[in-house]
Amino acid sequence: MGMNRAVLWDMDGTLVDSAEYHWQAWRVSMSREGFPVTHGQFLATFGQRNDSILRQWLGEKATPELLQRIGNAKEALYRRHVRDHGIAPLPGALEWVNLLDRHGWRQAIASAAPRANIETILDVLHASRYFQAIVSADDVHRGKPDPEVFLIAATRLGVAPEHCIVVEDAQHGVEAARAAGMKSIGVSQNGKLLPADVVVRSLDLLEANAFNTLLQDGASSAVTHAFPFHS
């Protein structure tokens, strides 16, 4: 692997806030199959792989056929919501993606979402050109906190794990980054505690040199200054 630098982005909760679309898609898809779920159940599993979510919700009724049918229906409905109603990037997200690209950082999406969902989001955001790799639920055998998704992304980018920074909003994702030997930036919109190297409420609050500093000295600190988006 080369000595390039890379940023591995989780998608939901870091690049975009698509929780409401996911909730609506799950609610309708589960109800159609006769298994209504509550919003609390949804929040407790959000960000996990579909097979893991459905096994928790369905218990003994979670046959492979049912998992696939509900999962496929849910994701198709989710993508329809995104395309019909659009989706906005979270504050600072695309500005950072653009800035990192201009400064030669390699970038990948490393998400528990299906590939079709990731491609839909990037298409709607007109952001596909910034990412040299996508690693989705379709590419891994084990979900976060297992580091598999991040290690595959680093390999596809040709960047050693110690030269990668993960951007995540979930504890399992931060734990996966640490297990992969990578630094992490945690986005904590709701004030939840994340064991990341840097934690911010929003990406537009990162200091202008946050990514460089994290790889250079590995200092652990919460960064709360406004980000001026220097070129």
- Please give the average per-residue pLDDT across 130-157, as a whole number: 95
pLDDT in tens, 2-37: 459 999 999 999 999 999 999 999 999 999 999 999
Query: What value does the mean pLDDT take over residues 151-159?
Result: 97
pLDDT band at residue 47 using 50, 70 and 90 as cut-offs: confident
- Residue 72 banded pLDDT, cuts 50, 70, 90: very high
Confidence category of residue 190, pLDDT binned at 50, 70, 90: confident
Binned at pLDDT 50, 70 and 90, residue 162 comes out as very high
Q: What is the DSSP string of 15-83?
A: TB--HHHHHHHHHHHHHHTT----HHHHHHHTTS-HHHHHHHHHGGG--HHHHHHHHHHHHHHHHHHHH
Q: What is the pLDDT of residue 119?
A: 98
d(CA 227, CA 170): 22
pLDDT at 139 over 80: yes
pLDDT top residue among 18 and 47: 18
User: What are the structural domains, with CATH classification, of the chain?
Assistant: 6-17+88-217 (3.40.50.1000), 19-85 (1.10.150)
* pLDDT surpasses 70 at 222: no
Distance from C-alpha of 78 to C-alpha of 12, rounded to nearest angstrom = 13
Per-residue pLDDT at 193: 87
Residue 218 has pLDDT above 60, yes or no: no
pLDDT confidence of residue 46: 86
Average model confidence (pLDDT) across the chain: 91
Q: Give 43's pLDDT tier (boundaries 50, 70, 90).
A: very high
Confidence bin at 56 (pLDDT 50/70/90): very high
Q: Tell me the average pLDDT across 135-158.
A: 95
Q: Write down how long the chain is.
A: 231
In three-state secondary structure terms, 109 is strand
For the chain, percent of residues with pLDDT exceeding 90:
84
Max Cα distance, the chain (Å): 54
Query: What does the block give as tokens for 173?
Result: 């994702």
pLDDT score recorded for residue 158: 96
